[in-house]
């Protein structure tokens, strides 16, 4: 990737306005496009959905499949550099793009994140540097490997090696019989079995790494998941113990450096009981893109994760991000539109907009909706960032917001 900066507002070598492209038109692409436009760039999105959230706000929307040769050619013609907003973009498409334009993250980095077996092997390689390892695991790709699974990995969780997200493609198993049945249920595709660990909490770290090797880290985020989907992120002093936070940041930097990664990277961790009355850290998985848990940066930091994504792609300087306000992020799923006042409506009823006027009357509330045309249960429709002068104030406001939306209270 070229180290020559692509300056906002400048003309490219092709005599066109400097344009940044993104593979994928979802909400992460939309927020990248908005950040790029705020800095003065033109933007282009490749996504087959004519109503994709990012495509609706970009200067150019190329409506083709991700592996369409003509679509890729159009994207290269339009853009000076290209990124991705989700990890399941076909790696060959990124290889094609990378042969002609700067692409960040690279196809190789995305390919590692697409495959849990490769991903965990990478984490193991980084362990001696960071001191943080994945949970004990075994790869299951054949019947022979299934039969050879060590007994001490059970009970565990079997996960598909590819295409699993938000809790999908995962089954908990207690013994060998359940493991064999689960592998059959998952279609006998390549999987990993992870040992179940004594989970205390979950956290994540977002770093941005430039082509020159400079890395900056955002504060560590404490995450709460429900039904496998992120529900809340809390980011303030004390949300994650300081020693674990420092180890998580160092581990994430090591993972990015070992991949020679360029772009924004999120790594998720489990905080587990170490059996001695304390806590330890286990690396879970990584996302080669901005992440739900980093949305708070839009209102609580002087540089958002999406601006960092623009800076890494364009080769701009990367100052260390500064969090200026305690923050809580609430994920807004489509269930809320069928859940007025916390009471689920009949399936035949039309969706009803949540009480945004009441929510936005509370100080420090920042609503981000993704421009999706229809709500449905489980669909990510937006998020709400809550900021304030103190942790007490932010938690009090968040408690009121959750009550208004009919969501579970803070722990």
Rounded CA gap, 135 and 376, in Å? 34
Q: Produce one character per residue of 327-356: b if its CB has 16 or more CB atoms within 10 Å, e if not.
A: bbbbbbbbbbbbbbeeeeeeeeeebeebbe
Closest CA to 283 of 29, 105, 113, 146: 113
Query: What percent helix, strand, coil does the chain show, rounded to 5?
Result: 30, 25, 40
Backbone dihedral angles phi then psi of residue 81, each to the nearest 5 degrees: -160, 155
The pairing of beta strand 279-287 with beta strand 133-134:
parallel
Q: Three-state SS for 286?
A: strand
Give the chain's length: 411
Edge-to-edge order in the sheet of strand 60-62: 60-62, 42-46, 19-23, 81-84
Residues making up the annotated binding site for ATP are: 116, 159, 164-170, 202, 225, 284-285
| Largest pairwise CA distance in the chain | 64
Residues making up the annotated binding site are: 116, 159, 164-170, 202, 225, 284-285
C-alpha distances out from residue 17 to 4, 9, 79, Å? 16, 7, 9
Closest CA to 72 of 90, 88, 51, 50: 90
Cβ atoms of residues 52 and 26 within 8 Å: yes
């Amino acid at each position: 990737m070229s180290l020559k900066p692509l300056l906002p507002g400048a003309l490219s070598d092709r005599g066109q306005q400097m344009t940044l492209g993104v593979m994928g038109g979802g909400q992460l692409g939309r927020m990248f496009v908005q950040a790029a436009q705020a800095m003065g760039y033109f933007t282009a999105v490749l996504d087959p959905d004519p109503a994709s959230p990012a495509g609706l706000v970009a200067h150019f929307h190329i409506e083709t499949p991700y592996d369409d040769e003509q679509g890729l050619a159009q994207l290269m013609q339009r853009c000076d550099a290209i990124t991705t907003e989700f990890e399941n973009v076909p790696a060959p498409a990124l290889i094609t793009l990378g042969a002609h334009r700067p692409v960040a993250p690279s196809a190789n980095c995305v390919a590692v994140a697409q495959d849990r077996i490769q991903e965990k092997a990478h984490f193991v390689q980084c362990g001696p540097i960071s001191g943080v390892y994945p949970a004990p695991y075994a790869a299951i790709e054949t019947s022979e490997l299934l039969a050879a699974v060590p007994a001490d990995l059970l009970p565990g969780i079997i996960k598909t090696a590819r295409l699993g997200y938000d809790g999908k493609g995962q089954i908990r198993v207690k013994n060998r019989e359940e493991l064999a049945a689960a592998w059959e249920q998952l279609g006998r595709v390549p999987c990993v079995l992870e040992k179940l660990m004594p989970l205390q909490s979950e956290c994540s770290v977002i770093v941005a790494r430039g082509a020159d090797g400079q890395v900056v880290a955002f504060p560590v985020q404490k995450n709460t998941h429900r039904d496998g989907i992120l529900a809340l992120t809390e980011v303030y002093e004390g949300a994650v113990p300081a020693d674990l936070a420092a180890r998580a940041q160092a581990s994430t930097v090591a993972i990015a450096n070992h991949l020679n990664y360029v772009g924004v990277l999120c790594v998720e961790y489990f905080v587990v009981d170490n059996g001695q009355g304390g806590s330890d850290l286990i690396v879970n998985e990584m996302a080669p893109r901005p992440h739900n848990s980093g949305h708070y940066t839009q209102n609580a930091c002087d540089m958002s994760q999406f601006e960092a994504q623009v800076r890494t792609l364009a080769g701009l300087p990367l100052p260390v991000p500064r969090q200026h306000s305690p923050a809580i992020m609430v994920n807004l799923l489509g269930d809320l539109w069928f859940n007025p006042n916390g009471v689920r409506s009949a399936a035949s009823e039309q969706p009803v907009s949540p009480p945004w006027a009441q929510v936005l009357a509370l100080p420090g509330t920042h609503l981000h909706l993704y421009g999706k045309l229809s709500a449905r249960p489980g669909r990510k429709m937006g998020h709400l960032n809550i900021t304030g002068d103190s942790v007490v104030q932010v938690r009090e406001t968040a408690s009121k917001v959750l009550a208004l939306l009919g969501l579970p209270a803070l722990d």
